């Protein structure tokens, strides 16, 4: 399937491409999927209780800015988690989202000018990347710019190295940390350099920090505290957070965006006429989740066990990520390896190239994801061990 008009440059989604790749190939063993980052697990009882207690609000339209209790819970979490000393005002700095994907997609629409720097506006993103970034850029009428995230630059895009003419046309950049798919973490110096660049060239930063609470050795440096320390506020920044990853609740479809009050105000106004509201019971459950840290700590320890098992099984074949729950496994040719893993071992993986774009047109190996597969460590520990032991046989 192909798209029309400005979306014609958007290829089929990575999982549609994976389904085509595997086609009618039969799995060599009992199938195990490590392709989708679906952090499914037990729903905490307090979340169930909050949903049930808030069920009566299904009878009311929810406010676009969220209920007071949700706003307070979100603001309290941001101030506590990022040591912001009360800098986040829940009335000015925060909005609820129906999962961060819809916010990451729609956020560009109210801010996109007809032109900038004498040409078509540009929005930059890492390459590889979360595919909804490109969909949002193309749908908003901007030109997507895919900036390579390679091993030699720590799997983080070097926006500071972009040409002057490109920077003049830049409206926004997407940056994911810890990153999907590589698990790379931006340090404080990276954030500060990016914000300095944003101020100089008048663009804003869309920080996708959905994996900020899944880390192993130490919490990652994050955008909100880095920006506050640098400027005393959150100008040029919108930071996105999700209960899908933090709390293992992807089916709740609940996230938030926080940052510059001027950007939040404009995004709220746009969403008030075009954006989906978050149902009242979902907000009640979300408020309960944002206030609780015990289940987050338990989730993080579970991922630490899975990562330790991967290191034990794969050894030097893998590079331990700084955060998140993916392995970015270098295998030579990711597409061929994914096909072999399914055909010989029944393990379903995502070829890294399906999350990236070619740097040189027509040269498939110029895709930064060409040599990799993404391995999602989201199953139970026993299943993950079985799958990784199978992969070790063909590695």
Residue 157 predicted with pLDDT over 80: yes
Alpha helices in 185-293 (DSSP H): 188-201, 223-231, 243-246, 261-274, 280-291
pLDDT in tens, 326-380: 999 999 999 999 999 999 999 999 999 999 999 988 889 999 999 999 999 999 9
- Residue where a domain stops, chosen among 247, 276, 292: 292
Report the interhelical angle of 381-394 vs 294-314 (nearest 10°).
20
**φ/ψ (deg, to 5) at 172:** -160, 160
Residues 184 and 178: beta-carbon distance below 8 Å: yes
Q: What's the structural domain count of the chain?
A: 2
259 and 332 belong to one structural domain: no
- Residue where a domain stops, chosen among 292, 316, 334: 292
- Residue where a domain stops, chosen among 230, 263, 292: 292
77 and 222 belong to one structural domain: yes
374 and 273 belong to one structural domain: no
Instruction: List CB contacts of 171: < 8 A, sequence separation 6 or more.
Output: 108, 111, 112, 113, 116, 121, 122, 123, 142, 203, 204
179 and 283 belong to one structural domain: yes
pLDDT in tens, 274-308: 989 999 999 999 999 999 999 999 999 999 999 99
pLDDT in tens, 207-235: 999 999 999 989 999 999 999 999 999 99
| Closest of 275, 280, 254, 250 to residue 264, by C-alpha | 275
274 and 344 belong to one structural domain: no
Strands 326-330 and 350-351: what pairing?
A: unpaired
pLDDT in tens, 73-112: 999 999 999 999 999 999 999 999 999 999 999 999 999 9
103 and 158 belong to one structural domain: yes
In eight-state DSSP terms, residue 30 is S
CATH number at residue 386: 3.90.1150.10
pLDDT bracket for residue 1 (50, 70, 90): low
Whole domain around residue 219: which residue ranges? Answer: 47-292
170 and 251 belong to one structural domain: yes
| Closest of 114, 106, 14 to residue 334, by C-alpha | 14
Q: Is 335 helix (H, G, I), strand (E, B) or coil?
A: helix
Residues 247 and 230: beta-carbon distance below 8 Å: no
80 and 215 belong to one structural domain: yes
385 and 366 belong to one structural domain: yes
Instruction: List CB contacts of 321: < 8 A, sequence separation 6 or more.
Output: 178, 182, 183, 184, 216, 307, 327, 328
Residues 156 and 184: beta-carbon distance below 8 Å: yes
**φ/ψ (deg, to 5) at 388:** -70, -35
**φ/ψ (deg, to 5) at 355:** -105, 5
pLDDT bracket for residue 51 (50, 70, 90): very high
212 and 306 belong to one structural domain: no
DSSP 38-84: ----PPPHHHHHHHHHTGGGGGSPPPTT--HHHHHHHHHHHHHHTT-
CATH number at residue 89: 3.40.640.10
Q: How far apart are alpha carbons 114 and 175 in whole angstroms?
A: 23
116 and 153 belong to one structural domain: yes
Q: How far apart are alpha carbons 170 and 181 in whole angstroms?
A: 24
196 and 341 belong to one structural domain: no
């Amino acid at each position: 399937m192909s798209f029309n008009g400005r979306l014609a440059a958007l290829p089929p989604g990575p999982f549609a491409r994976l389904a085509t790749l595997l086609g009618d190939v039969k799995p060599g063993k009992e199938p195990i999927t490590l392709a989708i980052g679906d952090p499914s697990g037990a729903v905490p009882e307090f979340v169930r209780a909050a949903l049930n207690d808030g069920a009566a609000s299904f009878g009311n339209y929810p406010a676009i800015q969220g209920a007071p209790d949700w706003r307070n819970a979100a603001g309290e979490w941001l101030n506590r988690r990022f040591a912001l000393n009360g800098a986040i005002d829940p009335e000015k700095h925060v909005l609820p989202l129906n999962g961060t994907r819809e916010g990451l997609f729609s956020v560009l629409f109210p801010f996109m000018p007809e032109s900038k720097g004498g040409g078509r506006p540009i929005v930059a993103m890492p390459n590889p990347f979360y595919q909804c970034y490109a969909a949002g850029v193309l749908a908003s009428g901007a030109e997507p710019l895919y900036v390579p995230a390679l091993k030699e630059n720590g799997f983080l895009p070097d926006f500071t190295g972009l040409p002057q003419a490109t920077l003049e046309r830049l409206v926004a950049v997407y940056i994911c940390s810890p990153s999907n798919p590589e698990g790379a973490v931006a340090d404080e110096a990276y954030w500060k350099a990016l914000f300095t660049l944003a101020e100089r060239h008048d663009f804003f930063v869309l920080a996708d920090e959905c994996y900020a609470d899944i880390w192993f050795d130490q919490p990652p440096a994050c955008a909100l505290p880095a920006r506050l320390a640098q400027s005393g506020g959150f100008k040029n920044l919108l930071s996105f957070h999700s209960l899908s990853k933090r709390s293992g609740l992807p089916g709740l479809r609940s996230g938030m965006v926080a940052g510059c009050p001027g950007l939040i105000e404009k995004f709220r106004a746009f969403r008030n006429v075009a954006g989906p509201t978050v149902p009242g019971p979902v907000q009640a459950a979300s408020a309960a989740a944002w206030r609780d840290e015990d289940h987050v700590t338990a989730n993080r320890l579970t991922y630490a066990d899975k990562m330790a098992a991967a290191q034990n099984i794969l050894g030097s074949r893998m590079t331990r990520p700084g955060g998140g729950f993916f392995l970015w496994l270098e295998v030579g040719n990711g597409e061929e390896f994914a096909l072999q893993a399914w055909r010989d071992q029944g393990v379903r993986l995502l070829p890294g190239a399906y999350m990236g774009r070619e740097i040189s047109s027509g040269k498939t190996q110029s895709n930064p994801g060409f040599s990799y597969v993404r391995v999602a460590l989201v199953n139970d520990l026993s299943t993950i061990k079985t799958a990784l032991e199978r992969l070790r046989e063909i590695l």
